[in-house]
Structure 1
Amino acid sequence: MQESKAMKGAMRRRGWAVLSAVALLCAGVGAMLPAQAWAQSDAVKELAAPPPIQLPLKPSPEFAKFPRYVGTLGKRQIVLRLGAKTDDPAGVHGEYQYTDTGEVILIAGDRDGDTLEVEESNDGTHITGNWVGKFAADGSVSGDRMNVDDSDPQPFDLKPLAAGQAVPAASAGAGAALAPHASSATAPAPAASGAHAVGGVSNLQTGE
Structure 2
Amino acid sequence: MIRSMKGPRIAAALTLIAALAGCNSPMPTGASGVLASGQREPAGADAHGAQAAIKELALPPQKPLTPNPEFARFPRYVGTLGDRQIEMKLGAKTDEPSGVHGEYKFAGSPNVILVAGDRDGDTLEIEESNDGTHITGNWVGKFAADGSVSGERMDPDDSNAQPFDLRPAVPGQTLPATGAARAPPAPSLEPAPPAPPKNAVGGTSNVIIGE
TM-score band w.r.t. shorter chain = 0.5 to 0.7
Following TM superposition, the consecutive aligned residue runs of length 4 or more in structure 1 with deviations greater than 4 angstroms are none
Residue 88 (structure 1) aligned with residue 96 (structure 2): yes
CA distance in 2, matches of 1:108, 1:126: 12
Residue 127 (structure 1) aligned with residue 109 (structure 2): no
Q: Give 1:117's match in structure 2, choosing from 125, 132, 141.
A: 125
Count of residue pairs brought into register by the alignment: 121
User: 1:21-36 alignment to 2 at 5 Å?
Assistant: none
Higher share in helix: 1
Cα deviation 1:129-152 (Å, max 9, x = unaligned): 000000111111100000000000
SS across alignment from 2:70: helix
TM-score between the two structures when normalised by the length of structure 1: 0.54
User: 1:59-208 alignment to 2 at 5 Å?
Assistant: 59-163=67-171, 165-169=172-176, 172-173=179-180
Residue 89 of structure 1: CA displacement? 3.4
Contact 2:85-2:175 within 8 A present in 1 as well: no
The structure with the larger Rg is 2
Residue 167 of structure 1: CA displacement? 1.4
Cα deviation 1:33-75 (Å, max 9, x = unaligned): xxxxxxxxxxxxxxxxxxxxx7210000010000000001011
Aligned residues: percent identity? Answer: 70
**Letter aligned with residue 86 of structure 2:** I
CA distance in 2, matches of 1:155, 1:101: 20
CA distance in 1, matches of 2:179, 2:135: 32
Structure 2 unaligned spans of 5+: 1-61, 182-211
SS across alignment from 1:134: strand
Partner of 2:17: none
CA distance in 1, matches of 2:176, 2:68: 22
Residue 172 of structure 1: CA displacement? 4.9
TM-score between the two structures when normalised by the length of structure 2: 0.54
Partner of 2:3: none
CA distance in 1, matches of 2:127, 2:67: 17
Q: Give 1:55's match in structure 2, choosing from 57, 63, 68.
A: 63
SS across alignment from 1:62: helix
Structure 1 unaligned spans of 5+: 1-53, 175-208
